[in-house]
Structure 1
Amino acid sequence: MSDPVPLVDYLVLTGQPHLTAHECTACGARYFDRRNACAACEADTFQTVDVPTEGELRAFTIVSYAAPGIPVPFVAGVVDCGGTSVRANVVNVPADPEHVRVGMKLRLTTVPLGTDAAGTEAVGFGFEPAG
């Protein structure tokens, strides 16, 4: 069996799992995808920075209809992690308005997504209630 593989390249599984972002060295804007230039200031120099693993839910929706094979309902959210906006599912909480609210404190968690025939596990991420 091989080491788990993150679903996205900005999920770091070594040590304590965390996310990384590309931060513009001129204005501090952060992006998860690769950029040739900053959308905020047009600078073209970036550095890789760690994103805090705890945050606050800023917006969410409860998804009731999805592609075949995707279990519903689930919570899709926008989490503010120390000023970095992260789009992710809110997991380990019932998907209803009685249990999910804007402002709730969340922490990053990893989610196993499946294992291929060679035994390699794919790992994604979500956010769960912090306490």
Structure 2
Amino acid sequence: MTEPDNSALIKQVPFVDYLVLGEEPYLISNECNQCQARYFDRRNACARCFGDQFTKVKVASSGVVTSFTIVEMGPVPYVSAVVDCDGTPVRCTLIGVDPTPEKVQLGMSVELTTYSMGEDSEGTEAIAFGFTSAR
């Protein structure tokens, strides 16, 4: 039996620790066992109840825009938003969305997407996440 040639496969790494790559990427958060508050960064204590026990939980991959701003700095304007993913607020960039007030609306349905941030000298690709208009 011949082993497949995997030399052409690109190694990918998530840009943030809470992005899980795969066929259907998703985000994970640290949920307080006491009050169910969710955080993407590691915590020693919950900011809401001061609990110190956390469980990693999968975050919904779709949601609605609850807040946004159109950022005019940089080479092109882009949309920075907060998306409510079934009760978990996610700060993100909206990808593939025209950055105009006519196209971005509070309450618009969006879904998780990933994209390449670039490669290092060894060909390892950094993968980031954002949200795009739901189909």
TM-score (ref. length: structure 2): 0.91
1:77 corresponding residue in structure 2? 81
Query: What is the SS of the residue equivalent to 2:34?
Result: coil
Instruction: Tell which structure's C-alpha radius of gyration is larger.
Output: 2
**Equivalent residue in structure 2 for 1:86, among 90, 100, 120:** 90
Unaligned runs of 5+ in 2: 1-8
Hey, what's the Cα distance between the residues in 2 that align with 1:15 and 1:92?
20
In the other structure, the counterpart of 1:117 is 121
State the match for 2:14 in structure 1. Answer: 6
SS across alignment from 2:63: strand
1:56 lines up with 2:64 in the alignment: yes
Give the number of equivalent residue pairs: 127
Question: Between the two proteins, what is the percent identity of the paired residues?
Answer: 51
* Counterpart check, 1:102 vs 2:106: yes
- TM-score normalised to structure 1 length: 0.94
Question: Aligned-pair RMSD on alpha carbons?
Answer: 1.0
Residues 1:29 and 2:37 aligned together:
yes
Task: Return structure 1 stretches of 4+ with deviation > 2 angstroms.
Answer: none
Displacement of 1:128:
0.1
Counterpart Cα distance in 2 of 1:81 and 1:128: 13
